[in-house]
Amino acid sequence: MSPRPETNPVFPSLADLIGQRGAARTLELGARRLALSAQAGGYRSVYRGRGLEFDEVRIYQPGDEVRDIDWRVTARRGRPHTRLYREERDRPVLVFADLGPGMLFGSQRLKSAQALYAAALLAWAAEHAGDRVGGVVVGVDGHRARPALPRREAVLTLLKTLVELQPRTPQAPLPGLLDEGLARLVHTAHPGSLIPVLSDFQTLDSAGERSLGRLTRHNDVLLIWLFDPLEAEPPAAGRYRLGVPGQLFELDSATVAGQWRQRFTEQRDRLERLARRMGCPLVPLATDVNPAPVLARGLVRHGRAA
């Protein structure tokens, strides 16, 4: 079982996100792996947007693709040799973070806080891999786009934006906010980008799905679904007051337990269908777990599917 996250403030600070730099080294975005160019038995380029650059020549091995044989070296040395390639560095990694009003929820850690920690891990992992880092952050005051740039300063700029836009006071849902942010992402992303999308996707509409479809055509998109255990399983039988200031209502959890679980199941099934249709992975990320190993496993699965 993954370790529980350390105790953190309700609203992560910039220092908290900078502190994720070390843990991000457990995440592999694919920049340092050797790859045999599109050959069976070799390691394919992890992400389709990342190109391959020549690395070295070695003696041909069973299973190597014939088209990768270096015929000049073969003729000179008298034995078949295969060209090896390495994935190119400096790839754009655009982190999309949904920090709308609905993300200000959590029984142990806020969904918005978990999104900040996960976004920081991904940004630092991209920096470790030598990639360019940017993103789009959606907050109650709109969205901000940060172009993908190299070096640590780009990561810090994105982290500052995340801290500034995280929700801090309860508000009613803002329909269309997530869809607008995804539309902005379409215009921000360059083909070949790696795009992790962090959201609970509860306000995702048809317009947002169309934007995701456009993004998946020329980029690698990861849907990272943030949810709280309380959303999957209702609280113990009793009466509770729920809502936001001015819109509170009483709930008898015993009478709605079945509907509660069904709603969560329907949301999960919807996102799984969406991910299959888009051809991209869905990585469930609960608020009560350490995000680093969850993201690491999700990236490994994505790499194997490439």
Per-residue model confidence as pLDDT tens digits over 149-201: 988 999 999 999 999 999 999 888 888 999 999 999 999 998 889 999 999 99
Question: Residue 36 has what pLDDT?
Answer: 32
Q: Does pLDDT of 85 surpass 90?
A: no
How many Å apart are CA 241 and CA 249, to the nearest integer?
Answer: 6
Domain encompassing residue 112: 14-25+90-305
What does the alpha-carbon distance between residue 26 and residue 21 come to, in Å, rounded to a whole number? 10
Q: Given a cut of 50, is residue 7 above it in pLDDT? A: no
Q: 3-state class of 32 per DSSP?
A: coil
Angle CA 273–281–24, to nearest 5: 150
Average pLDDT on 97-102 reads 96
Mean pLDDT to the nearest integer, 122-150: 93
* pLDDT tens column, 224-273: 999 999 888 776 666 655 655 555 556 556 666 678 789 999 999 999 99
Q: How far apart are CA 270 and CA 249, in angstroms?
A: 27
Judgement on whether residues 112 and 257 belong to the same structural domain of the protein: yes
Predicted TM-score (pTM) of this structure:
0.77
Which of residues 87, 107, 129 is at a domain's end? Answer: 87
Q: Give the CATH number for residue 144.
A: 3.40.50.410
243 plus 119 within the same structural domain: yes
Give me the pLDDT at residue 253, please.
Answer: 60
Residues 113 and 226 sit within 8 Å (Cβ to Cβ): no
Residue 9 lies in a domain: no
Determine the Cα angle at 93 with ends 92 and 96, to 5°: 135
In terms of domains, do 103 and 39 share one? no
